[in-house]
Amino acid sequence: MWSEDDTVLISALEHFSYCPRQCALIQVERIFDENVFTLRGRRAHERADEPLLTTRENDVRIERALPLWSDALGLLGKADVVEFHDDGRIVPVEYKHGPRRERRHDDLQVCAQALCLEEMLGKTIAAGAVYSIQTRRRRDVPLDDELRQATRDAIVAVRALNNDAGPLPPAVNDKRCPKCSLLDACVPATVVAARHDRLAANLFAPVPTEELS
């Protein structure tokens, strides 16, 4: 059994993929700020979590807000939607609301959901999907070996981060920051400037005279 500290939340994989510092601020420092993107995302998830948990559309049974776990991987979370097709296919679908961004973050999350479902149901899942509330478009996510390994690697990395008592990962201070809900808490420009100041101070520090002789 995994301890609480060693159990990784599926949602943390997305945060880690976006920015390891963001993941550490949420998981380790327990800081979470809402911004317009997270509020819209929460609304999207609330819709997927609406009370009618099981429905049927033609040849697909749809389960919403399905709890997920993997004892093998120490993973825990919830799927927005899982489709059970009459032809045997099982497809986890992650609902997203927000600006277009790198697909990798969402793909890791969908893959982690699929890994849980495979263990829970004893079935192989070939693909998941990401549904954009904004564009009403759906994108298939093939679960190839590379994505599965990247997901497993991310789980290990998040677990290490959760148990790391050292300093937070460095601020990325790039185009990700303006869209980040933790911008105020993180203050990436200040952190990066302070790091540069420290490096400069070390670089130009006077050399002790005994080292010159």
Chain positions contacting ligand SF4, by CB under 6 A:
19, 21-22, 25, 171-173, 176-177, 180, 182-183, 186, 188
**Between the CA of residue 97 and those of 80, 144, 167, 202, what are the distances in Å?**
13, 25, 32, 45
25-36 burial, b at 16+ Cβ within 10 Å, e below that, comes to: bbbeeeeeeeee
For the bound state, the minimum distance from the C-beta of residue 29 to ligand SF4, rounded and expressed in Å, comes to: 10
For the bound state, the minimum distance from the C-beta of residue 22 to ligand SF4, rounded and expressed in Å, comes to: 4
* CB of 148 or CB of 176, closer to ligand SF4: 176
Amino acid at 4: E
| 109/170 Cα distance (integer angstroms) | 23
* CB of 66 or CB of 186, closer to ligand SF4: 186
* CB of 91 or CB of 186, closer to ligand SF4: 186
For the bound state, the minimum distance from the C-beta of residue 95 to ligand SF4, rounded and expressed in Å, comes to: 22
Structure tokens belonging to residue 2: 């995994």
For the bound state, the minimum distance from the C-beta of residue 177 to ligand SF4, rounded and expressed in Å, comes to: 3
Closest Cα to residue 139, out of 150, 151, 131? 131
* CB of 16 or CB of 131, closer to ligand SF4: 16
